Structure 1
Amino acid sequence: MENILTKAFDTPFGTTPFERITPEDFLPAITQLISVTTAEIEKIATNPKTANYENTIEALAYSGKELNTVSSIFFNLNSAETTDRLQDLAQQISPLLTEFSSKITQNEQLFARIYRVHKLTDRSTLDKEQQMLLEETYKEFIRSGAKLSSEQKKELELINKDIAKKSLQFGQNLLAATNQYFKHIKDEEELKGVPEGIKFQFAEEAKTRGLDGYVITLDYPSYLPAMMYLEDRNLRMELALANGRKAAQPGMYDNRNLIRELTVLRSKKAILLGYRNYAEYVLEERMAKSPATVENFLHELREKATPFAYRDVEEIQRMAKADGIKQVETWDHSYYAEKIKKERFDINDEELRPYLPLKSVEKALFTLINTLFGLEFIPRTDIEVYHKEVQVYEVREQGSYKAILYTDYHPRKGKRAGAWMTSYQNQYIENGENHRPHISVVCNFTKPTAQVPSLLTFQEVTTLFHEFGHALHGMLANTRYPSLSGTNVKWDFVELPSQFMENFCYEPDFLQSFAFHYRTGEPLPLEKISKITQSKNFMEGYQTLRQIGFGLLDMGYHQHNETIGDIREFELLQTASTQVYPIHSDMCTSTSFSHIFHGGYASGYYSYKWAEVLDADAFDHFKSQGLDDNSTAKKFKTLLSKGGSEDPMQLYIEFKGDEPTIDSLMKRAFGQ
C-alpha cells in the first residue's frame, strides 16, 4: 500500500493529512525520502556541466523539500502529541537524518562544485539573497567538516549521531520526570490562599487521574500558581524541591550524565572543526560573533541589574520577616512577590483572569495583526488536525491566501511543557510559484470547563503575543529559498519580533479594547489597566539577573572542554554571581535546561536579552512615530518578510535608520 507521506497531499492548500497518518508511516516514509533526496544530491554532484550558481547552489537549496516536510511533521508531533511509539521512532529516525545530513556536507564531489562557485562567481551578478545563499551554503559545508580528512569525517558523523540521540533522550527524560511527580491533596485546608479558579483546576486534574480532592503537578499552569498562592510554606518547599530535582536523581530519567556526555561531544565536534570550544563554533554564525562579546554583554547587564535585583529581594525579605521568616528561600519568592504586587499595584493574576478569556485575547491579537500587517484569520473546519483541540485558520492578505495557522493551546499528557511556534511547511518561491507556509503556535494554557472558558494570566497573554511574533516571522515570509525563509535567521535575531509583540500588552488603549469580564461584560477598570502598565517592570532586577545566570551557565557549559564532574557544583560555579537566595544541594537547574540540551539554544541563551535590546529599541521607535503609523509598520513587515536573506543588522538599520542601543532597554527595565 502506498505511504500517504510519500505522495502529494490531497488536502486544502496541501496541508498535512493528520487524521490519516499512522505512526508506522513515518520510518518507511523518511527512509524512502532520504533515498530520493540522496539521488537528487547525487545528480547535482555529478552534473557534467561546469558548476555555476544555478546548477549547484540553487539546485541544492531546492532539494529535499519533501523530506524536510515529513521530518517536520514527525518532530512537531513528537513535541505536541507524543506517544511511546513516537518516542521510540524518534530514537531511530534522528540518527538516520543526522547520518544523511553528514553525508551531504561530506560529499567531496558536491563540495568541489560549491567551492568552485564560491571562489569564481562574480558577486555583482547576484542579488542580495543569492549572495547570502552562496555564503551560507559554503559556510555550512565548511562548518560541517567538508575540509576534514576521511577519517575525521567519519569521527564527526559519529559525534553528530550521538549528539542527536542524547539530546532527544534529554527531552524525553525531562518530560517523563515532569509527568512522574504529582502532589495529591485530600484536605482543602492545605490549599489555603489559593484562588477558587486555581483550586478548581487542581480538582479537575485529580478527576482525570481518578482521585478525590486535588492534584498539583509540575506542569507550569499548575506549578506556578501553586508557588504564587499557597500559604503553606512546607508545601511550597516540597513542590520547589520536586521541581528542582526533575531529571536530577538516580534512576531511569537522570539527565546528569547526558549533560556530561553532550558537553564533551559538542566540544569534540568544535575542536575537530578547528575551533577552541563549542561556543566559539556556534557564535561565529550569530550577530554577537564571539564568546567574548556575549560575556561582555552579560557582564555589563549584570553590573547594571545586580543593585536592582538586591533591591527586589530586600522587599521580599521585609514582607517575609513580618510572617516570622528569618531566611527567605527560593520557594518564598513567587509567593511574596505576588503579595507585594497585590499590595503595591492592587492587582493579582487571579483577579485579572476573568477579564482575559483566551478567545477575547486571541481576537484582539488578530485585530492588531490585521491593523499593523494586513492579515486576516479565517477559521477552517475542513482541514485535518492532529488533536480535536487544534484550531486551523486560513491566513489571508488582501483577500488572497497567505498562510495556514494551527493553534494548540491546552496541556495534555503527550505534550511537552512551555510554548513554541513551529512550521510544518516552509515558504519559498520556485518556478514563479510562491509556496506559502504552514505555521503552528503551541501553548499550555488552562483548559476551559463546561462552566468557565480558558482564562489567562497576564503573563500567559504576553506568552501568546510572544509566540505570535514568531508566527508573524513565518507567515509574512517572502524569500526565494526555504533555508532563508521566515525564522531561519541568526539565532540572536530570531526573538526580535516575538519580544516586540509583547510590548503591545502593556499599552492602555489596546488593553481597553479587549479586557472585558467573561460573565458580566464589564471592562477591566482603568485603574487596573494603569496598574498593569506600572507593574511591567516589577521585580525586573531579579528576573534580569536570573536570565543572565542562565546565559552564563550556557556559556560555561559550552566553553568547557573537559568532562564535568558534579553537575550541581559546576552550575553553582557558573551562576554564583547571580544567586540571591540560598542554594540547595539537591536542586539543579541544568537537568531541566531543555533550551540548551534539547532545543537549539546551546551557546545562545543570551539571545533573549540580546533581543530585548532590539525589541526595546524597535518599540521605542514605533511609539515615536505612532503605534498605528502605516509607514513604520510597513518597514517592520518588510524586515520580517526578508527572513535570513540579508544581514540582520542591515535589515534593522533599513527599518529604523540606525543601529540599536542599550538605552531603551535600560530605560524600560530600570528607568535609567
Structure 2
Amino acid sequence: MTLQPLVLPSTDDAQEWAEAHARDGLAAARQLVDDLRTSPPATTLELLRQWDEISRHLGDVAAVASLLANVHTVEGVRTTCEQSEVEVDRLGTELRQDRALYEIFAAADPAGLDATAARLLEKTLDDFRRAGVDLDDATRARLAEINERLTEVGQEFGRTIRDDVRTVRVSPDRLAGLPQDWLDEHPVGDDGLVTVTTDYPDSLPARMFVHDADVRRQVTVAFLERGWPANGPLLDEMFALRQELATLVGYADWASYDADVKMIKKGPAIPEFIDRIAEAAEAPMRRDLELLLERYRRDVPGAETIDTADSVYYEELVRQERHDVDSQRVRTFFDFTKVQQGLLDVTSRLFGVTYEPVTDAVVWHDEVTAYDVLVDGARIGRIYLDLHPRDGKYKHAAQFTLVDGLADRQLAEGVLVCNFSRGLMEHDHVVTLFHEFGHLLHHVLAGAGEWTRFAGVATEWDFVEAPSQMLEEWAWDADVLRTFATDASGEPIPADLVERMRAADDFGKGYQARTQMFYAAMSYWFHTDRPADLTAAMRELQARYSPFAYIDGTHMFASFGHLGGYSSAYYTYMWSLVIAKDLFSAFDPDDLFAPEVAGRYRDRVLAPGGSADAADLVADFLGRPYTFDAYAAWLAR
C-alpha cells in the first residue's frame, strides 16, 4: 500500500482546517475509547492495537497543533492550535486517569506478546500510575486541573519568548567590524540609525564582530532580557504546579518524577552528574579562561572577570590570533543555499536515502521547502524545512513532528524549524543545522514501526540529543565540508583552515561545558528548591558553575525556553554528548561514510525509535555498554 502524506491547507483555509483536524481527530479517539469500554477486545494484542489507534489520533492532533502554533503566519491559526493542544492534553489526562480503562489493561495477560508489545503494555500501565489512576476522585480532579494549567502556562511562556523580539538602534559608524553582507542587509533608517534585533542572525554577528563594546553590551542585555518580566510569575507557577503534581502521585519532587522515565532514573542523580561534568571541565576551563582574560586585559587592564557581553567577541579575537581563524573569512564559504544542499547530499550518502523536492506541496510560508525522503526509490517520509526568521515564529531551532510514521498506516513527516541567515552563515550555525537535521532524520528513519508509542524520536529524553550531536561531526570534517563549502569564486574551503577551525573550536570547550552545567543546575534546582527569587538563585548558580560574570539587571532564565520543554532535565544535552562521543568512536575518521558502520548505526540506533531502551540500542551498535571514556578524552585534549 502506498501511503500518502498529509495535505496541508492554504493560508485562507488554515483556521477552519485546523479546527476540523482537531475536532475530527479527538472525536475519532473518543469513539474508539467508548468502543473499548463497552466491548473490550478479546486478546491483549487486540487491546493494545486499539489503544495504539487512540494514541495515533491524539498524536496526530497534537503534532499538527504544536507545529502550526509555532510557525503559522496567521495569529488566529496559532491561537486555535494552542487551544487544540490544551484539548488533547485534557483528553489524554482523562484517559490515563480512567479507572475502568486501567482495570482492563491491568487484567490483560502479557503471555504470548512479543518483546515490543510487552514493552508497550508495561509502559501503558506505568502511564496510568503516573497519572494518579489509583487515587481518590478529588485528587484525580486536581491532577487534571494541574495538567491543563501546565499546558496553558507552558504555551504562554513559549509565546512570550517567541513574540518578544527586542531591538537596539545605533548609528552605522558604531557597527564597525560587522561583515559587509550583514551591513548591506540592514540599511540605515530615515532617522539615520540601524536596527539590530535579538533574532539570532542579527544578535550573534553583532556580539562576535562589533568593535564598539557598548553596542555589544546593549545587544547582549537585550537578548538576555527577552521574556522579562512577564515570564517570571509564569515560571513560579509552573514550578509550583509541577511540584504539586509530582508529590500527589508519590514522588519526592518534580525532578524525581521526571527522571523516573529517563536513562538517569533518579532525580538526585542529576546534580551528581552535573558535578561530575563540572569537575572534569575544571582544568580545561581554567586553562582557556586565562587565555581569554589575557587577551581581554590588553584592552581592559587589570580585569579579573569577563561577562558574556564581551566573551563572544574576545573568543573570536583569541581564535584569530592564536589559531589564525577569522570567522568573517570562514563565513564566506558558507552560503546558506549551498549549505542546505550540502547537508542533503551528505546525509543522503551517509544514510542511504535520497531527497526529492516536492514543488506542489502546500506550505505555511513561501520560504518553506518540502522534500520526499526515499530509500531504493520508495518514499519513506516527507520533510519540510522552515529555516529563516520571521515575526510570530518559534525563535530557536527544533524538529517538530507533523505525522508519526507507522508501517502500512501513515507516512512519517517532520519539520525543521530554525532561524538562520538567508545569506552567509557562521560555521556555528552550520553545525546547528546538521544537529537539528539529525532529529529530523531520526524521526523519518524510525517511522516504519508498528506502534505509535515508539515511532520517531521516542527514546528516553536524555538520549534523543545523542544522534544529532554525533551528526555534528560531519560538519567539522574537511573532506566533507569541501564538497559544499565554497566561496563566491567556487574555491573550496582549505583543509588547513578547517584544521585550524577545529583547534579554535576546542578553545573554550572547558568553560562551555561549565556554562552548560550552569544551565543544567538552574533547570534542576529551580524545580527542587523553587526559590522565591529566581534572579538571586540564578546568580548563585552562575557563580558556582559558570566562568562568566553575571550582568547586572538581566534575567536570562525568562527566555530559557528549555525550562518549558526539558523542565528539570537540561542535563540531558551533556548526558547525550557523553553517549554521542562514544557512538562516534565506532566510525573511522578517515572514512566517515563507510557503509557497513553507517548502515549498522542507522538500523540499530535510529530505525528502532523507542522500541527498546536507549542503552540497549547503543550497546547493540557498539558491541558493549557506552562509557564516559571518549567524552573525557575529548574534553581533556
The separation in 2 between residues aligned to 1:296 and 1:540, in whole angstroms, is 20
The separation in 1 between residues aligned to 2:264 and 2:41, in whole angstroms, is 40
Selected match of 2:524 from 555, 562, 566: 555
Alignment match, 1:574: 541
Please say if 1:593 is aligned against 2:584.
no
Q: 1:188 to 1:334 in 2, by over 3 A?
A: same
Q: What is the letter of the counterpart of residue 189 of structure 1?
A: D
Alignment match, 1:664: 630
Contact in 2 for aligned 1:46/1:109 (Cα 8 Å):
no
Residue 349 of structure 1: how far off its partner (Å): 2.4
Alignment match, 1:503: 473
Contact in 1 for aligned 2:45/2:113 (Cα 8 Å):
no
Residue 503 of structure 1: how far off its partner (Å): 0.7
Q: What is the letter of the counterpart of residue 26 of structure 1?
A: A
* DSSP-derived class of the 2:216 partner: helix
Q: 1:273-422 to 2 correspondence within 5 Å?
A: 273-327=249-303, 328-422=306-400
Contact in 2 for aligned 1:625/1:632 (Cα 8 Å):
no
* DSSP-derived class of the 1:340 partner: helix
Please say if 1:481 is aligned against 2:451.
yes
Q: 1:53 to 1:176 in 2, by over 3 A?
A: same
Contact in 2 for aligned 1:568/1:585 (Cα 8 Å):
no
Superposed CA deviations along residues 410-459 of structure 1, whole A, max 9, x for unmatched, are 11112121111112111112xxx253201111211112xxxxxx222111
The separation in 1 between residues aligned to 2:442 and 2:334, in whole angstroms, is 25
Identity of aligned residues (%): 26
Residue 625 of structure 1: how far off its partner (Å): 9.2
Alignment match, 2:572: 607
Contact in 2 for aligned 1:57/1:137 (Cα 8 Å):
no
Alignment match, 2:135: 148
Contact in 1 for aligned 2:169/2:195 (Cα 8 Å):
yes
Contact in 1 for aligned 2:3/2:409 (Cα 8 Å):
no
The separation in 1 between residues aligned to 2:186 and 2:377, in whole angstroms, is 44
Please say if 1:520 is aligned against 2:506.
no
Residue 193 of structure 1: how far off its partner (Å): 1.6
* DSSP-derived class of the 1:62 partner: helix
Residue 224 of structure 1: how far off its partner (Å): 1.1
Listed as ranges, the gaps of 5+ residues in structure 2 are: none
Contact in 2 for aligned 1:356/1:457 (Cα 8 Å):
yes
Superposed CA deviations along residues 444-484 of structure 1, whole A, max 9, x for unmatched, are 1112xxxxxx2221111111110111111111112111220
- Greater shift in the superposed pair: 286-295 or 305-314: 305-314
Alignment match, 1:6: none
The separation in 2 between residues aligned to 1:324 and 1:633, in whole angstroms, is 49
Selected match of 2:609 from 637, 640, 643: 643
Superposed CA deviations along residues 63-109 of structure 1, whole A, max 9, x for unmatched, are 25344324322221221235432343355333322221111111221
* DSSP-derived class of the 2:54 partner: coil
Residue 494 of structure 1: how far off its partner (Å): 0.6
* DSSP-derived class of the 1:503 partner: helix
Please say if 1:36 is aligned against 2:28.
yes
Contact in 2 for aligned 1:287/1:493 (Cα 8 Å):
yes
Residue 272 of structure 1: how far off its partner (Å): 0.3
Alignment match, 1:235: 215
Alignment match, 2:167: 182
Selected match of 1:110 from 84, 101, 119: 101
Contact in 2 for aligned 1:383/1:392 (Cα 8 Å):
yes
Q: What is the letter of the counterpart of residue 647 of structure 1?
A: D
Superposed CA deviations along residues 346-372 of structure 1, whole A, max 9, x for unmatched, are 223221122112222222222222222
Residue 18 of structure 1: how far off its partner (Å): 4.3
Contact in 2 for aligned 1:465/1:502 (Cα 8 Å):
yes
Alignment match, 2:71: 80
Selected match of 1:425 from 380, 397, 403: 403
* DSSP-derived class of the 1:524 partner: coil
Residue 406 of structure 1: how far off its partner (Å): 0.7
Residue 49 of structure 1: how far off its partner (Å): 5.2
Alignment match, 2:183: 199
* DSSP-derived class of the 1:608 partner: helix
Contact in 2 for aligned 1:87/1:172 (Cα 8 Å):
no
* DSSP-derived class of the 1:291 partner: coil
Alignment match, 1:441: 416
Selected match of 2:85 from 94, 115, 131: 94
Listed as ranges, the gaps of 5+ residues in structure 1 are: 1-9, 448-453
* DSSP-derived class of the 2:385 partner: strand
Superposed CA deviations along residues 94-145 of structure 1, whole A, max 9, x for unmatched, are 332222111111122111111111xx322xx222211221111111111111
The separation in 2 between residues aligned to 1:155 and 1:585, in whole angstroms, is 40
Alignment match, 1:655: 621
Q: What is the letter of the counterpart of residue 413 of structure 2?
A: H
The separation in 1 between residues aligned to 2:87 and 2:278, in whole angstroms, is 42
Q: 1:324 to 1:80 in 2, by over 3 A?
A: same
Contact in 2 for aligned 1:197/1:350 (Cα 8 Å):
no
The alignment's TM-score, normalised by the length of structure 1, stands at 0.90
Please say if 1:16 is aligned against 2:8.
yes
CA RMSD of aligned residues (A): 2.1
The separation in 1 between residues aligned to 2:149 and 2:600, in whole angstroms, is 43
Q: Moved runs in structure 1, 4+ residues, more than 6 A?
A: none
Superposed CA deviations along residues 519-544 of structure 1, whole A, max 9, x for unmatched, are 21112223212212222312101111
- Greater shift in the superposed pair: 90-99 or 627-636: 90-99
Q: 1:605 to 1:18 in 2, by over 3 A?
A: farther
Alignment match, 2:151: 164
Q: 1:450-489 to 2 correspondence within 5 Å?
A: 454-477=423-446, 478-489=448-459
Contact in 2 for aligned 1:284/1:290 (Cα 8 Å):
yes
The separation in 1 between residues aligned to 2:56 and 2:307, in whole angstroms, is 51
